[in-house]
Every structure is written in structure tokens, then in C-alpha cells.
Amino acid sequence: MPPLLDVADLSVRFETDDGVVQAVDALSFDVEEREVLGIVGESGCGKSVSLMSLLGLLPPSAKVDGRATFGDVDLLSASPGRLRRIRGREIAFVFQEPMTSLNPAFKVGRQVAEVLQRHLDLSRKEADARAVELLNLVRIPAPERRAGEYPHQLSGGMRQRVMIAIALACDPKLLVADEPTTALDVTIQAGILDLMRDIRERLGTAIVLITHNLGVVADIADRVLVMYAGRKVEEAPVDELFAHPQHPYTIGLLGAIPRPGAGRNGRLQEIPGRVPSLHELPTSCAFADRCPRADELSRSEVPELRPPA
């Protein structure tokens, strides 16, 4: 059975005043039905850009190449009209910051109902009633009252739940959650992850979870893709990745996780050096200058991605 989403050789570059920025370089991955795929890496490594490029959400300066098959549609060559029908209906996006993603001038219930009217042709009364049901589905207390409130009247956790309700409004096949737990305290974070697990179980929705938090990945993901400087450096089932990480960058990320009483003088481990500029990516391994295992081969060419021996 083919995967729900199959992405091959995805490349994204931006034309800027300072030259070409290669944000994503020959990225390939797939997502199975009902699967949770975690995509991890430092800020600026291309996680969000990769998924946004599939849905035509990047500015005109972005040049996107490759193939992304969703059902019988190649998302990268689909017409703008076809993408508009897919966005929100079959593939939904939960953006990073709910306070800026929600419109401050409209009540949250109306913002949920708008999606229902746009994609499912519901009447305003039907959409408003369904919006309350969705707010209840994502465990917002007193959903009838909250539907009549504005985003600034809600806590950060509740705003994030409203964003998830909007994304789930049309029962999408794939949910892309971009840093859904950032800036939330651990209690609210746990609630959001429980909600996403419940969504997968109850609705059968596949989830792509974009995050830099390896604790979140360990909690919910089935499989993990690690990115560095726009390239995939490792991919493995979540248990395998944590038990036997292969790439030095993955090992460095896992070593930097805070652990009580660990480390010399209580200091966190760190990955030395800096991420290379995307304006001038090396033609060799992008991690070589920071890697304790770098050799002449990795300093002269991009290592081939292959299964561990």
C-alpha cells in the first residue's frame, strides 16, 4: 500500500539580495496512514520550510523542485485552485505561534466556523454549532462561552487548542503540527500531546510533528527524521533512534538533553561550532567542521545516506 504522503528530492531555495539561500536540499521522506512522523533539528535547518513548500505557503521568492505525491496528486505541480481545496480539507497545518496565527479581530468560534463554511458549504448556523463541538473535542472547557471570546481572552494553551480545532474541522487525512508545544509549560504541553494522541486514535489522522524538543518526539512519534542545514542526516523508528543513534549530530542532540546531576560541573553538553550559512553551504558534509568523527572523505564530499551496517 503506498504511503499517504511521499516526498522525493525536495529542494527549496530563496532568491535574496545577498544571493541564493538553499533552505532544503534533496530531502526525501514519506508518511504512512495513522503514523506520527517527528522532524527534528535546530532552528533554521529547514523543517518548517519543507512542509510549507508542499502546500504552496511560501513567498514568490521561493523556488521549489522535486516531487510530493499525496494520493493521486503531485502537490508541487498542482494548480493553485487544487491546492486551496487540499489545504485545510485534506492536509491541515497548525502554525507555530497561535497568538499571531489567530485573527485578533474575530471571535475564536467564528474563526473555526469559517473553515467549515469554506470547505464543507455549511450554513452559518450549522458551522457555528459545529465549531462549538470542535472546541469541545479539543477539550476546551465551557466551549459555548469560549466560542464567543477573542484570542487575547484565552490562555496560550487554549489558543493552541483553537488552532488544532481549526485544523481538525474538516477531518483531514494529514495534520502538520509546527512546534505545537513551544512556550507552553510542561503541564499544558502534556495536555496537547495527549490531545494529539487522541486525535490519531479517534480520527485516524496521520501527523507530522515539527519540533526541536526530543522529549516530545520520544513521547508521541513513531518515526523520526533528523535534519541539519537543510539536509536529512538520519531517519529511524523512535526507539531505535534513541537507543542507537548513528549520526554524530543526532548523538550531539541527545547528549544536550538536560539530565539532573549529569555533566561536568553541572554544565550541559554542547555541540561546538556554528551551523553553516545557508548562503554558502559546503559541497562536503555540512556538519564536518563540528563533528568529532570527521575525516578526509566527509570533508571532501557529501556522505551518502544508507542503512547502518
Residue 101, amino acid: S
- Cα pseudo-dihedral 153, 159, 162, 166, rounded to 10: 120
Instruction: Please report, rounded to a whole number, the percentage of residues in the chain having pLDDT higher than 70.
Output: 97
Instruction: Map residue 69 onto helix, strand or coil.
Output: strand
> Please, which residues have CB within 8 angstroms of residue 2's CB and are 6 or more apart in sequence?
69
Average confidence (pLDDT) over 153-170: 88
> What band does 266 get if pLDDT is binned at 50, 70 and 90?
low
Q: What string of DSSP letters covers 215-280?
A: HHHHHH-SEEEEEETTEEEEEEEHHHHHHS--SHHHHHHHHTS--TT-SGGGPPP---S-PPPGGG
Name the helix (H) or strand (E) containing 115: helix 108-120
pLDDT at residue 8 is higher than 80: yes
Are the C-beta atoms of residues 10 and 64 closer than 8 Å to each other?
Answer: yes
Average confidence (pLDDT) over 94-118: 88
pLDDT 10s digits, 60-86: 889 999 999 998 899 999 999 999 889
pLDDT at residue 263 is higher than 60: no
Separation in Å, CA 205 to CA 208, 218, 295: 10, 19, 43
> What band does 38 get if pLDDT is binned at 50, 70 and 90?
very high
d(CA 53, CA 294): 32
Average confidence (pLDDT) over 251-265: 74
Task: Output the average pLDDT for the chain.
Answer: 88
Cα three-residue angle 111-113-115, rounded to 5 degrees:
80
Q: How far is CA 238 from the centre of its chain?
A: 16
Instruction: Map residue 95 onto helix, strand or coil.
Output: coil
Question: On the CB side of 116, how many CA atoms lie within 13 Å of its CA?
Answer: 22
Longest dimension (CA), the chain: 67
> What are the domain boundaries of the chain?
97-171
To which residue does cell 568523527 refer? 293
> What band does 302 get if pLDDT is binned at 50, 70 and 90?
confident
d(CA 139, CA 255): 35
Assigned C-alpha cell, 111: 474563526
pLDDT at residue 96 is higher than 70: yes
pLDDT at 19: 82
Name the helix (H) or strand (E) containing 214: helix 214-220
Average confidence (pLDDT) over 154-183: 87
- Name the least confident of 18-32, 146-160, 230-244, 289-303: 289-303
pLDDT at 146: 94
- Name the least confident of 18-22, 54-58, 111-115: 18-22
pLDDT at 176: 93
pLDDT 10s digits, 179-237: 887 767 777 778 888 888 888 888 889 999 999 888 889 989 999 999 999 999 999 99
Name the helix (H) or strand (E) containing 91: strand 91-94
> What band does 264 get if pLDDT is binned at 50, 70 and 90?
low
Per DSSP bridges, beta strands 206-211 and 36-40 are parallel
